[in-house]
Homo-oligomer: A and B are copies of this chain.
């Protein structure tokens, strides 16, 4: 059960809009206030990016309920009844102080009031708020709908209870809140970024390396480690079995070496700005920011998928809304005789060197469809923990037509036959745009007692659910292709 039902977004730019998208897709209603007349368009663009990313992340699995998105005309209206209030206004103390005074005048006593600021201090901007005890920094990273970390920093008047509640509330929308113990400028992440940034500026200014070279050193090397282990854990591995202390004792002396120019800041003049802007343009090789954003999001989603499968880091936080609903035991057959068991698109990852959907992805889709039906009859992932499960024992796929990457597809499922232990399914994969039959998948499944390792009768209520499906689909003709043999048929 989610502890955040309604959120308020004060400011809907790149960061504010990212918050909106994260909340809506996590099933939280969001009221947005932003005086910018372009705000609706900007938020819509971010929502589209986020939806695309989620579709890729959960490939054809239902995304759970979305929250309602509303644009409202005042801060008071937005924050009314909100459990979570996120302020993402420009980085000016005068603006933030005023906005927090206004938020405080209408906020619920138990609301979390987080600011997305990347540098201002909560003690400074909470002063005029009637709810100063609930005001804190909650600093995310772009894109907010994909990167989970959020730095929580309290100010002089922030209560411990508010911090504790924030740790819960942000986790509830799929994030990784980290509590920074002391209120310092730029918190943790931006200080690390700033350190690397300063060093990089010197490298460019001194003609040692270009923006592209520096980025290459990062993305072909140390960045691949940072994405999963950070720096201390990575160094721990550098120490080998001798351990972290050994590593530190070895590494320590180099602190005294003149390795960095951090003691100084380069002059921020037009010449340096020109140099970096030109190098950055060269590096982008004509890709627009919009194109780069898509590339970034695809890579981030795929990293998340990897880490989800490996149950590590940012991926270990992910909660598949479809899987979550299974655990909630919402195992009920949808109405009607046509069972739509898959509703998604051909993921661009699924295409092969011919530009077609890769062979095994047809079975991936059909398996997802089978799993969906199993969930409906109470035989999904949660059921396996009872010691019994459904095993596929045979599959027959026919490829009938082609479909391109990104195109919508659905699967309709027919129950051809069943008895106490067995299930004979026939899936039809349909291209939504042309309503053409792309492929069929015919499957025989066995209900298995996993301990005994052999077929066993399914529970009566599961059988009853299948009987209902069979009854509803009584008038559907048996598919011509069901039970067909494979072979070269020769004339004469």
What residues on B are CB-neighbors of A203 within 8 Å? 188, 191
- Alpha-carbon distance between A258 and B191 when the two chains are bound, in angstroms: 10
Asked whether, in the complex, the Cβ of A199 is within 8 Å of the Cβ of B192, the reply is yes
- Alpha-carbon distance between A309 and B302 when the two chains are bound, in angstroms: 10
What residues on B are CB-neighbors of A193 within 8 Å? 222, 231
- Alpha-carbon distance between A142 and B236 when the two chains are bound, in angstroms: 12
Asked whether, in the complex, the Cβ of B255 is within 8 Å of the Cβ of A198, the reply is yes
Asked whether, in the complex, the Cβ of B195 is within 8 Å of the Cβ of A262, the reply is yes
Q: From residue A480, how far is it (CB to closest CB) to chain B in Å?
A: 13
A284-318 CB contacts (< 8 Å) to partner B: 284, 288-290, 292-293, 295-296, 298-300, 302-307, 309-310, 312-314, 317
Q: Is A359 close to B, CB under 8 A?
A: yes
Most B Cβ at <10 Å: residue of A146, A230, A257, A484: A230
What residues on B are CB-neighbors of A468 within 8 Å? none
Asked whether, in the complex, the Cβ of B216 is within 8 Å of the Cβ of A280, the reply is no
Q: From residue A424, how far is it (CB to closest CB) to chain B in Å?
A: 6
- How would residues 437 to 473 of chain A score, 1 for a CB under 8 Å from any chain B CB and 0 otherwise? 0000011100000100000000000000000000000
- Which of A96-104, A125-133, A177-185 lines the interface with chain B? A177-185
- Alpha-carbon distance between A196 and B276 when the two chains are bound, in angstroms: 21
Q: Is A106 close to B, CB under 8 A?
A: no
Asked whether, in the complex, the Cβ of B487 is within 8 Å of the Cβ of A237, the reply is no
Most B Cβ at <10 Å: residue of A191, A220, A317: A220
A351-388 CB contacts (< 8 Å) to partner B: 353-354, 356, 358-364, 367, 381, 384
Asked whether, in the complex, the Cβ of A277 is within 8 Å of the Cβ of B248, the reply is yes
- Alpha-carbon distance between A345 and B181 when the two chains are bound, in angstroms: 47
Q: How many residues of A contact B (CB 8 A)?
A: 158
Most B Cβ at <10 Å: residue of A176, A218, A290: A218
CB-CB nearest in chain B for A398: B394
Q: Is A434 close to B, CB under 8 A?
A: no
- Alpha-carbon distance between A249 and B272 when the two chains are bound, in angstroms: 11
CB-CB nearest in chain B for A442: B486
What residues on B are CB-neighbors of A290 within 8 Å? 241
Q: Is A321 close to B, CB under 8 A?
A: no
Asked whether, in the complex, the Cβ of A227 is within 8 Å of the Cβ of B226, the reply is yes
Contact status of A188 and B215, CB under 8 A, knowing A260-B194, A289-B240, A359-B392? no
Asked whether, in the complex, the Cβ of A230 is within 8 Å of the Cβ of B216, the reply is yes
Q: Is A200 close to B, CB under 8 A?
A: yes
Q: Is A330 close to B, CB under 8 A?
A: no
- How would residues 147 to 184 of chain A score, 1 for a CB under 8 Å from any chain B CB and 0 otherwise? 11101000000000000000000000000101111101
Contact status of A394 and B384, CB under 8 A, knowing A189-B221, A206-B182? no
CB-CB nearest in chain B for A14: B240
13 A-B pairs besides A241-B288, A243-B289 with CB distance below 8 A are A149-B221, A185-B258, A186-B260, A188-B214, A192-B214, A194-B254, A224-B303, A225-B296, A244-B281, A248-B277, A255-B266, A256-B265, A299-B313
Asked whether, in the complex, the Cβ of B483 is within 8 Å of the Cβ of A486, the reply is yes
Contact status of A450 and B206, CB under 8 A, knowing A363-B363, A395-B396? no
What residues on B are CB-neighbors of A148 within 8 Å? 220-221
Asked whether, in the complex, the Cβ of B199 is within 8 Å of the Cβ of A142, the reply is no
Q: From residue A377, how far is it (CB to closest CB) to chain B in Å?
A: 17
